[in-house]
Structure formats: structure tokens, C-alpha cells
């Protein structure tokens, strides 16, 4: 039911892509002479390349798949992740933080922390980052291998090892530069691979206006499509307006979030925490040619980022509209169900005889292990009276009646629906490219942090550069192997994986508070930062343990509060972690001695760094000016979809 047949042209496109990425790696190999070349690209990359790599490192396949899923679940409000979350954070990074990252000549984010605070904060950050980034890599590869096995029938292990092998080949040869260049390639693949799918989907649904009408009907009765529990009603604009359902309160929007959690939790804490401190993306800006290029990198990235909702979120909305249009013969895919279960369900329908429709519905549901839509089963039974329908048609009927949704399958189902051979190969290669690129990005970030911040700093300091160069190469191999291990772990222990990701969210939440105080207040001390971080992580964990959302959390026994959704819980956790970390860092800093003088902190703190003179640049090329213009564009976007 699910397998896609690829033709020679699809395979050719895929092989062409693989050949080119490996070729890029091999061509770059001759320029890799020092550890700096290999691990940090020796600050030599042009702005448009670092800019596109910056956005691409974040635009992994999980983002593509996830945003379409969220677009289906929540509508255009998903764009908040971009227009409230990402863009302001990227502008802040460009204008205010890059001068410190780049000007300090730190080779990594933990190294900046070492310069600004001390080894403890660096150690905490680098270990946490190294572990998280390997797990992120593993999750990415696991999702890819599962996709290939479910979609194309490829063997999971083979898919995992071969794709990892391809990544190893180009990263081992060309280091960070390979990863950056292939990320740019991936960016174009994604845009050019998915734009036609969005166009075709939009055409099929009858245009934006028609889609909006359908979504308004769905919003008022989502239970008709089994999207939400019976009796849920939202205002007509729940899927098509980004702000109004939010302002109306958490019970009036499908996300279940209130305005404070959205703006402060997501918009400020989580987004700034990610975009301003995550080495995976910051590393790309640090590879730029000079200070202006480094500051412009996130700004260059912000332009496509602002437009991405139309590429990645709108497909989800199209999918919901299509599901509400019965003559389009489309439904948001059900969760993956084995063929054996389908056969059993078909048998139940075939042998229904004179049993009551309700008992048939229950039996089908049991056979599939999923909820089914009673009305649709009833209609199927009527159609099949006297054994009229064949097995294939019965299976299709059962498939259409499953009342649970696998939102992650949305983007692929649209690709399957609209792409003929040729375009199909392009879209699938784009998806594959983004998964592999995710692994490459994570492994190169891991490499730099391990080699410089853990190995060179603590294990084997003072060796020659050649030693670290070869350490970098070895770490590439180790990083890939560890990622494969993490992928297997993710595939076998999905629940453990959820716990691990939860822990990561605790660790990430308070980070931005530390950086904010570190960069803008000279009085912040290492002890304050260290304790503040731990306090923030702890606060996150404790609040999660004491509250519940959709059945998750509350493991400390007492359930003090119930959030309307896990998303709301996450945003509030972030907000609380930030506040705790900020307050603790501030208070403890005031109570402890400064270990670094003003001279030590020059170039690391805002008040102690000479302002960058951008006067020689034409007005519209100054980062500050570009930042303001982008911010205005972002506000306009928000207003258009108010």
C-alpha cells in the first residue's frame, strides 16, 4: 500500500547527487592542510555561502517533515516558529552577538565561554553539546533509514550504513568546508525539489482562497474529519490566522498555547537559545571571511527563512483542505499499519454477514489496532453488500476509514500524489540530501567541539597542529560510528529516545540567559554562570516533574498543574528555566569575585568592546540597517496573516 516504485530517471538523479557531494569532498581535500582548515574552514567562505549554509544546517529533513506535520495540525500559526521565533533571534545574533563570537577569535561556542567565564562553563557546555549533537545525528539517520525502508522497501541496515558511508566519504576528505558546501547544494535541492509539489498542491486545492474556505469549515468542526475529539469547535480562522486564535486563549487554538508562552517561551527563550548559542548554526557564521561577512551571514539566512513557511508549512494546510474535499481522493496518511493487519480487517468486513455495523466497526478497529470512523465502515459495508467489492477495494475502504493520522507522513504523501517519475526522484533526493546533510552538520560540529574543547583543552594539550589535524580526521570516523549507534538506539528504544530529548530540552532552555548576561554585563562571574546554568536545568526538570500535559510529565508525584498541550508545557518550561537561570546568575555574580578584569574581557563584553565602525560601508549594507529592514518585513508578514 505504501511502497513507491522508482524508475531509472529517479535513480539517476539520486546517483548524480551522491556523485557530486562525494566529488566536492574529494576536490576540497587538497586544500585541507591545517586543523583550522579542516575543522573551522579557516575563515575563508563567502557570505552568500555561509548564509545559505546557516539556514540549511537548520533545515534538516526533520524540519521539513515536522513543519508540514505542524502545518496540518495547527495551520498558519506554525509560522510563529519562523516569524516570531527565528527571525528576531537571527537578527539579534547578527547585529549584537557575532562581534563577540567572531571578534574573540574563538573557534567554537564553548571556547568563547572559556574566554568569557572559565573552564567549568566551557566543560559543561561542550560535553552537553557533544552528546546532544551525536544524538541529533542519530535521530536524523534513523528517520532516514526508516523512511527508505518503509517507502522504497530498502533494507534498514543497508540504508543506514550506505548513507552514513556517503557522508563519511565527503566529510573525511573536505571537513567543515565539505559540509558547508553540500548544505548549500541541499538548500537549492530542497527549494527546487519541493516548490513544484507546493505549486501542484495549491493548484489541486483550487488556490489560496479556496483552501482558506475549506480550512475555515474544518476549524469549526474538526471532529468531522476525526482531527480532534468530538465536540471541539474553534473559530473559523483557527487554521488560517496566526495571531487571533492565540490571543483568544489556549483553549481556542489547536496548539493549546497562550500568548505569553508563545511570545516569551518560544519567541524569546527557545528561539534565541537555539539561534544564538547552538554551535551547529553559529559555526557556519564563524567560518565567514571577515567580521562584516560574519555579521551578514544570519541576515542573508533570514531572507529565505522568512519565506520558508510557504514552502514547508503550506503543504500541511493543503493536506487538511484536500482531506476535507472528498472528490480529491486524498487523506492525510494513517499511521503505518502492517499488511497482515489490513488483511485481517478486510476479512472482518468480508465475513460481516448479518452482524451489526457497530460490532463490525469494533472488530475492524481491533484488527488494525487503531480507531476507525464508524460512518465510513458503515458505508463500506453497504457498498459491499453481497460481496460486490474486491479485496483491493475493501482494503482501500478500510484505509480511508482509519481515524488516526500520521502527520509526519503528510509531505511524502503529497510527493507521492503529485510527482511523476523524474520529479519524484528530485523530491526524494532532496529529502535524502537534507537527512545526510543533517548528519554531516552534526558530525562536523561535534568534531570541532571534541577536538578543541575537550581533547585539546583537557586530554592532550600542547601538541602540534598536525596532531590535532589527524585527531579531527579520526573524530570524523568516530562521530559517524557514534551516530550510527545512536540511530540504532533510537530505532530500538523510541521511549528512551523521548526521555533523552526531554533532557536535552532541559539543558538548552536556560542557555540564552547565560549568554545574554555574559555578553552584556561585565560583572557576570564564572561561578554565577555555572550555578545559574545548573539552576536553570534543574528548574526545567522540576517543573516538568510536577506538571502534566497530554499525559506526559508529572513524574515527581504531585501534579500541580495541567497544561493544555505538550507544546504549552515546553514553552513554559523554557520561560521558567530562563528566569531561574537569569536570576541565579545575576545574584550569584554579585556575591562572588570577578576572576577576569576589564582588560581580559575586552572584545568579549558589549560595554568593553569598541563599537564596530561600519561607516565605511554604504548605509544599506550595514548590518544594523539590514537588521531593521528585515525586522520590518517580518512584522509585515505577521500582519498579513494576522
Partner 1 sequence: MGLDIRWPIGLMFTLIGILLTGFGATKASASTSLDININLIWGVVLLIFGVLMLVGAVTGRTKNPPSA
Binding site for partner 1 (CB under 8 A): 9, 12-13, 16-17, 20, 23-24, 27-28, 30-31, 37, 41-42, 44-45, 49, 177, 181, 184-185, 188, 192, 196, 200, 203-204, 418-423, 426
Query: Whole-number minimum distance, CB 6 to partner 1, in Å?
Result: 13
Complex with partner 1: residue 325 or 454, whichever CB lies closer: 325
In the complex, what is the shortest distance from the CB of residue 453 to partner 1, in angstroms, rounded to a whole number? 23
CB-nearer residue toward partner 1: 204 or 395:
204
Of 249 and 422, nearer to partner 1 (C-beta) is: 422
Question: What is the C-alpha to C-alpha distance for residues 572 and 248, in angstroms, rounded to an integer?
Answer: 18
Please, where are the H alpha helices in 206-328?
Answer: 208-220, 244-247, 259-260, 271-277, 279-286, 291-308, 314-323
Q: Which residue reads 562521530 in cell numbers?
A: 479
Q: How far apart are CA 16 and CA 160, in angstroms?
A: 19
DSSP-based three-state secondary structure for 561: strand
Query: 433 or 439: whose CB is closer to partner 1?
Result: 433
Percent composition of the chain: helix, strand, coil (DSSP 3-state, to 5): 75, 0, 20
Least separation, in Å, of the C-beta of 276 and partner 1? Answer: 26
Least distance to partner 1, CB of residue 43, Å: 10
| CB nearer to partner 1: pick between 196 and 603 | 196
C-alpha to C-alpha distance for 295 and 288, rounded to whole angstroms: 9
Helix axes 566-591, 526-546, angle to 10 degrees: 150
Pick between residue 170 and residue 446 the one whose CB is nearest to partner 1: 170
From the CB of 151, what's the least distance to partner 1, in Å? 19
In this complex, which beta carbon is closest to partner 1, that of residue 417 or of residue 552? 417
Tell the smallest beta-carbon distance from residue 16 to partner 1 (Å). Answer: 6
- Which of 26, 561 has the CB closer to partner 1? 26
Could you tell me the smallest distance in angstroms from the CB atom of residue 30 to partner 1? 7
What cell numbers appear for 60 in the block? Answer: 534538516
CB of 418 to partner 1, least distance (A): 5
Q: Which CB sits closer to partner 1, 219 or 426?
A: 426
Strands 552-553 and 547-549: antiparallel
Measured from the CB atom, the residue of 13 and 380 that comes closer to partner 1 is 13
Nearer to partner 1, 153 or 421 (CB): 421
Q: How does strand 561-563 pair with strand 552-553?
A: unpaired
User: Least CB distance from residue 35 to partner 1, whole Å?
Assistant: 15
Of the candidates 574, 551, 517, the one whose C-alpha atom is nearest the C-alpha of residue 262 is 574
Which CB, 180 or 580, lies closer to partner 1?
Answer: 180
Buried b or exposed e, range 556-584, using 16+ CB within 10 angstroms: eeeeeeebbbebbbbbbbbbbbbbbbbeb
CA distance 135 to 130: 9
User: CA-CA distance, 518 to 477, in Å (whole number)?
Assistant: 35
> Minimal distance in Å, beta carbon 55 to partner 1?
15
Residues whose CB is less than 8 angstroms from the CB of residue 277 and which lie 6 or more positions away in sequence, other chains included? 109, 511, 512, 515
Strand order of the β-sheet with 547-549 is 552-553, 547-549, 561-563
CB 437 within 8 A of CB 444: no
Please report, for residues 11, 151, 403, 539, the alpha-carbon distance to residue 368 in angstroms, rounded to integers and kept in the order given.
34, 20, 11, 42
The angle, 0 to 180 degrees and rounded to 10, between the axes of the packed helices 279-286 and 291-308 is: 130
Taking the least distance from each CB to partner 1, the nearer of 196 and 304 is 196
9 vs 631 by CB, closer to partner 1 = 9
- 619 in Cβ contact with 552 (< 8 Å): no
**Residue 30 or 209: which CB sits closer to partner 1?**
30
Which residues are CB-neighbours of 458 under 8 A, at least 6 positions away? 123
How far is the C-alpha of 70 from the C-alpha of 78, rounded, in Å?
A: 6
Q: How far is the CB of 11 from partner 1 (least distance, A)?
A: 11
**203 vs 417: CA distance, rounded Å:** 13
CB of 19 to partner 1, least distance (A): 9
**CA 356, CA 338: separation in Å to the nearest integer?**
26
Q: How far is the CB of 27 from partner 1 (least distance, A)?
A: 5
C-beta of 309: minimal distance to partner 1 in Å?
22
Tell the smallest beta-carbon distance from residue 315 to partner 1 (Å).
15
Closest CA to 101 of 89, 114, 88: 114
CB of 117 to partner 1, least distance (A): 32
**Cβ–Cβ under 8 Å, residues 286 and 102:** yes
Backbone phi and psi for residue 552, each to the nearest 5 degrees, phi listed first: -105, 150
Backbone angles phi, psi at 151, to 5 degrees: -90, -45
b/e burial code for range 113-149 (CB count within 10 A of at least 16 → b): bbbbbbbbbbbbbbbbbbbbbbbbbbbbbbbbbbbbb
- Using the minimum distance from each CB to partner 1, give the nearer residue, 34 or 638: 34
3-state class of 372 per DSSP?
Answer: strand
Amino acid at each position: 500500500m505504501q511502497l513507491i516504485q522508482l524508475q531509472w530517471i529517479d535513480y539517476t538523479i539520486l546517483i548524480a547527487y551522491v556523485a557530486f557531494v562525494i566529488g566536492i569532498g574529494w576536490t576540497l581535500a587538497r586544500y585541507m592542510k591545517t586543523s583550522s582548515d579542516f575543522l573551522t574552514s579557516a575563515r575563508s567562505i563567502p557570505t552568500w555561502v555561509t548564509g545559505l549554509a546557516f539556514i540549511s544546517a537548520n533545515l534538516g529533513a526533520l524540519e521539513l517533515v515536522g513543519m508540514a506535520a505542524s502545518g496540518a495540525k495547527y495551520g498558519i500559526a506554525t509560522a510563529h516558529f519562523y516569524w516570531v521565533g527565528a527571525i528576531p533571534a537571527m537578527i539579534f545574533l547578527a547585529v549584537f552577538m557575532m562581534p563577540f563570537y567572531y571578534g574573540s577569535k574563538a573557534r567554537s561556542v564553548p571556547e568563547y565561554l572559556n574566554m568569557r567565564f572559565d573552564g567549568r562553563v566551557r566543560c559543561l557546555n561542550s560535553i552537553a553539546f557533544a552528546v546532544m549533537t551525536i544524538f541529533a545525528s542519530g535521530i536524523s539517520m534513523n528517520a532516514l533509514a526508516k523512511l527508505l525502508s518503509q517507502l522504497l522497501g530498502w533494507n534498514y541496515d543497508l540504508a543506514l550504513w550506505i548513507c552514513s558511508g556517503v557522508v563519511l566519504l565527503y566529510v573525511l576528505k573536505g571537513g567543515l568546508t565539505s559540509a558547508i558546501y553540500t548544505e548549500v547544494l541541499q538548500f537549492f535541492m530542497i527549494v527546487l525539489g519541493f516548490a513544484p509539489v507546493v505549486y501542484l498542491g495549491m493548484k489541486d486545492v483550487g488556490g489560496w482562497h479556496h483552501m482558506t474556505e475549506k480550512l475555515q469549515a474544518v476549524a469549526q468542526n474538526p471532529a468531522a474529519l476525526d482531527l480532534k475529539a468530538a465536540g471541539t469547535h474553534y473559530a473559523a480562522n483557527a487554521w488560517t490566522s496566526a495571531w487571533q486564535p492565540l490571543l483568544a486563549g489556549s483553549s481556542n487554538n489547536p496548539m493549546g498555547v497562550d500568548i505569553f508562552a508563545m511570545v516569551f517561551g518560544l519567541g524569546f527563550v527557545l528561539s534565541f537559545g537555539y539561534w544564538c548559542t547552538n554551535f551547529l548554526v553559529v559555526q557556519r557564521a564563524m567560518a565567514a571571511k571577515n567580521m562584516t561577512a560574519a555579521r551578514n551571514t544570519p541576515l542573508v539566512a533570514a531572507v529565505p527563512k522568512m519565506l520558508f513557511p510557504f514552502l514547508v508549512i503550506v503543504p500541511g494546510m493543503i493536506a487538511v483542505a484536500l482531506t476535507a474535499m472528498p472528490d480529491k481522493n486524498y487523506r492525510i496518511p494513517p499511521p503505518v499499519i502492517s499488511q497482515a493487519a489490513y488483511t485481517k480487517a478486510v476479512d472482518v468486513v468480508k465475513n460481516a454477514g448479518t452482524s451489526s455495523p457497530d460490532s463490525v466497526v469494533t472488530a475492524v478497529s481491533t484488527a488494525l489496532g487503531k480507531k476507525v470512523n464508524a460512518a465510513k465502515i458503515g458505508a463500506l459495508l453497504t457498498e459491499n453488500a453481497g460481496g460486490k467489492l474486491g479485496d483491493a477495494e475493501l482494503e482501500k475502504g478500510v484505509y480511508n476509514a482509519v481515524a488516526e493520522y500520521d502527520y509526519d507522513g503528510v509531505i511524502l504523501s503529497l510527493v507521492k500524489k503529485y510527482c511523476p517519475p523524474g520529479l519524484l526522484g528530485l523530491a526524494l533526493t532532496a529529502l535524502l540530501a537534507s537527512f545526510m546533510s543533517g548528519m554531516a552538520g552534526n558530525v562536523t560540529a561535534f568534531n570541532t567541539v571534541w577536538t578543541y574543547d575537550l581533547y585539546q583543552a583537557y586530554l592532550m594539550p600542547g601538541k602540534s597542529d598536525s596532531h590535532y589535524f589527524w585527531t579531527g580526521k579520526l573524530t570524523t570516523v568516530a562521530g559517524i560510528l557514534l551516530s550510527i549507534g545512536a540511530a540504532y538506539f533510537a530505532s530500538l528504544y523510541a521511549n528512551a529516545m523521548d526521555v533523552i530529548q526531554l533532557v536535552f530540552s532541559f539543558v538548552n532552555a536556560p542557555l540564552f540567559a547565560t549568554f545574554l548576561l555574559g555578553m552584556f554585563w561585565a560583572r557576570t562571574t564564572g561561578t554565577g554562570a555555572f550555578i545559574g546554568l545548573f539552576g536553570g536545568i534543574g528548574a526545567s526538570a522540576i517543573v516538568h516533574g510536577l506538571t502534566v500535559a497530554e499525559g506526559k510529565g508529572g513524574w515527581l508525584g504531585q501534579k500541580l498543574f495541567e497544561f493544555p498541550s505538550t507544546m504549552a508545557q515546553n514553552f513554559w518550561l523554557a520561560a521558567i528555566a530562563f528566569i531561574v537561570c537569569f536570576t541565579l546568575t545575576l545574584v550569584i555574580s554579585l556575591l562572588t569575585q570577578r576572576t577576569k578584569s576589564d582588560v581580559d574581557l575586552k572584545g568579549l563584553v558589549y560595554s568593553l568592546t569598541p563599537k564596530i565602525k561600519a561607516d565605511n560601508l554604504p548605509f544599506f549594507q550595514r548590518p544594523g540597517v539590514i537588521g531593521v529592514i528585515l525586522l520590518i518585513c517580518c512584522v509585515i508578514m505577521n500582519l498579513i496573516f494576522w
